[in-house]
A and B are shown apart, each in its own frame.
Chain A
Amino acid sequence: MRRTGVTLGLMFGAGVLAVLAVLWLTGAIDALRPWLLEQQRGVQNQLAAAVRAIRSGQPGAWGALMVVCFSYGVLHAAGPGHGKLVIGGYGLARRVRLGALAGIALLASLAQAGVAVLLVGAGVLLLGWSRERLLGVSEDILAPAGIAAIAGVGLWLMLRGLWRLRAAGALPDHHAVEHHDAQPGAGLHRPHGDHHPPDHPPAQRPAQRPDHRPDHRQAHRPAHPPAHRPDHRPDHPPGLPPGHPPGHSQDHRPDQPHDHRHDHRHASAGHIHDAGCAHAHGPTLADMDRVTGWQDAALLIGGIALRPCSGALFLLILCFAMGIGGAGIAGTFAMALGTGCITIAVAGLAVWGREGVVAGLSAGLNTRRMALALPMIESVAGAVLAALALALLANPL
């Protein structure tokens, strides 16, 4: 019963996501646009008032500016934007722990503020650039670089999905049955979960179904004799970014069941490299996943952070010109917290929606098909992300 409830809850997430996507694509969400514009206009005017108040030394002006800047960040992130695209796309493509994706979203927002501060600091204070020059650098150099990084994320996801698809497709069926047994939850297969219980409070992982865990431990432990541990260990590199909790390895997710099969294949085939197993000389999935965590995080953060919000640049330039640069910097980070809230929400929605899709699929597909469907999702989401980014690059919003 409980399992059914969880599955339904997850599938509801997919439904919410689908409805939002339809609203977005059909333009129905534009009904909010006039309201949003009115709010943005109001905040913009309040921003001017707050800056003036600080300049004239009014008490409480700093607090007011922080509040206004935070609102500015929330409101300006509520429209279409690249940060949400990246975080949402990634969260749909791959099974990522919500905490990790949310951490990346927040870090990316803060890094975006940092880029704005550095750009204005260097450009205006050191190089004496005009605002037009500064915005030009931001739009013509930084923004395309960021979008290229996003396209890179998309292509990377696509290729990795295709790679997995090939690996999954090349597998004999009995492996799938053996390791991804009757568990329809796409085998929430986290062999490391039992190594790091403190890192995995259920509350941080709506994706995780606590009621399944014991099954999995039992189901998987015997299937993973100690001899296999070394194969898995490297998936937890020490160099994970702050946003990645130690347990955050995408490789033990249900969408990569072939990881294990791959390992097992080697094991069961007795590692017959000499017998023409040429593929083994390329990077293995384990190899790829090993570098995936921090690489993906860096690309995601870089892609988002490289394009500073013009609003932040405006505020910084204005504040520096008025001799209250500190207020500008603080306000810029307050804006970042505001935008971060929205991208974190998008991260949650993406994780929730993805789990729902997976739950729905796994109810209808056998494990073999499931093993194909998941990398397919990854590659399609990656392809869409790359296509959107490249379209942006060719024809900015």
Chain B
Amino acid sequence: MAGTAAAHPHVFVDTGIEVIFDAARQGIALRVTWAYDDLFSLMMLQDRGMDPDFDGLLTPSETAALQGFDMAWEAGFAGDTYALLGAAPLDLSGPSDWTTRLIEGRLTSTHLRRFDRPVVVSDLPLVVQVYDPGFYTAYTLAGETRLTGGTGCSAQAFAADRAAADAILRAAMDEQAGSDGVESDFPAIGAAYAEEVRVTCAAPG
């Protein structure tokens, strides 16, 4: 899993993002859903001798044994999920509260990443990017971004489209130029192909 370098991806992951807000409508955590491609799922199951009849159904004990199968992160693995407020990177905790299920032959896991402190989201967007810097795994945003407790907030997804990525980068650079951000700390530059979600919230009424 962890960052083996590659010229082209070998694992494809449909990624879902849920932003969880607290009662004060401050962002407190992200729940990340990873749905692995058929081949990777098949390999993981074969490795473990599971689902020998390929009917796509696991026994309860098999499901139990799979929990956390992708959560033993190596040191230095950032989790392929990156959060920024505007252009300023936000610290995310390691994964917790994970789940794994087999859905239509695809291993689908979720995990929680907490912000180190509550994030005030306004018209300065909370940006969540999903990408593997080594491009071994290709993450694609799939489905709507869920905003739990984020009344008055909206999310817009940007696909890994070069023009959009450029526009995002330019916008981010502009934002950064207006802040005191240090350019070398700006991780989005290495993420030109990242798919990302931008969450903005209207000022509380």
* Chain A contact residues, CB within 8 Å of chain B: 27, 30-31, 33-34, 37, 40-41, 44-45, 47-49, 51-52, 55-56, 76, 79-82, 131, 135, 139, 310-311, 314, 317-318, 321-322, 396-397
Asked if B39 is at the interface (CB within 8 A of a chain A CB), the reply is yes
B126 CB to nearest chain A CB (Å): 24
A310 near B6 (CB under 8 angstroms)?
yes
A48 near B160 (CB under 8 angstroms)?
no
**Which residues of the partner chain A approach B4 to less than 8 Å between Cβ atoms?**
135, 139, 310
**Which residues of the partner chain B approach A131 to less than 8 Å between Cβ atoms?**
43, 47
* Chain B contact residues, CB within 8 Å of chain A: 4-10, 12, 37-43, 46-47, 54, 105, 135, 138, 140, 159-162, 193
A44 near B43 (CB under 8 angstroms)?
no
**Which residues of the partner chain A approach B105 to less than 8 Å between Cβ atoms?**
48
Identify the closest chain A residue to B160 (Cβ).
A34
**Which residues of the partner chain B approach A37 to less than 8 Å between Cβ atoms?**
9, 12, 138, 140, 160
B164 CB to nearest chain A CB (Å): 10
A45 near B162 (CB under 8 angstroms)?
no
A198 CB to nearest chain B CB (Å): 40
Q: Quick one: which of A76, A139, A321 contacts B8, CB cutoff 8 A?
A: A76
B39 near A45 (CB under 8 angstroms)?
yes
Cα separation A76 to B4 with both chains bound (whole Å): 17
B39 CB to nearest chain A CB (Å): 4
B10 near A52 (CB under 8 angstroms)?
no
**Which residues of the partner chain B approach A40 to less than 8 Å between Cβ atoms?**
8-9, 12, 138
A310 near B10 (CB under 8 angstroms)?
yes
B10 near A311 (CB under 8 angstroms)?
yes
**Which residues of the partner chain A approach B47 to less than 8 Å between Cβ atoms?**
131, 321
B5 near A397 (CB under 8 angstroms)?
yes
B75 CB to nearest chain A CB (Å): 16
Lowest 7 CB-CB distances: which A-B pairs, in order? A48-B38, A396-B5, A48-B39, A45-B38, A79-B8, A41-B12, A321-B46
Q: Quick one: which of B7, B41, B54, B160 contacts A80, CB cutoff 8 A?
A: B7
Given A45-B39, A314-B43, A318-B46: A52 in contact with B12 (beta carbons within 8 A): no
Cα separation A37 to B159 with both chains bound (whole Å): 12
A30 near B162 (CB under 8 angstroms)?
yes
Q: What are 20 residue pairs bridging A and B, where the CB atoms are less than 8 Å apart in the complex? A: A33-B160, A34-B160, A34-B161, A37-B140, A41-B37, A44-B12, A44-B37, A44-B38, A47-B39, A49-B38, A51-B42, A55-B54, A131-B43, A131-B47, A139-B5, A311-B10, A318-B43, A321-B47, A397-B5, A397-B7
B39 near A31 (CB under 8 angstroms)?
no
A240 CB to nearest chain B CB (Å): 31
**Which residues of the partner chain B approach A135 to less than 8 Å between Cβ atoms?**
4
Cα separation A318 to B40 with both chains bound (whole Å): 10
A29 CB to nearest chain B CB (Å): 10
**Which residues of the partner chain A approach B10 to less than 8 Å between Cβ atoms?**
310-311, 314
Cα separation A317 to B7 with both chains bound (whole Å): 21
Cα separation A396 to B9 with both chains bound (whole Å): 14
A273 CB to nearest chain B CB (Å): 51
B43 near A52 (CB under 8 angstroms)?
no
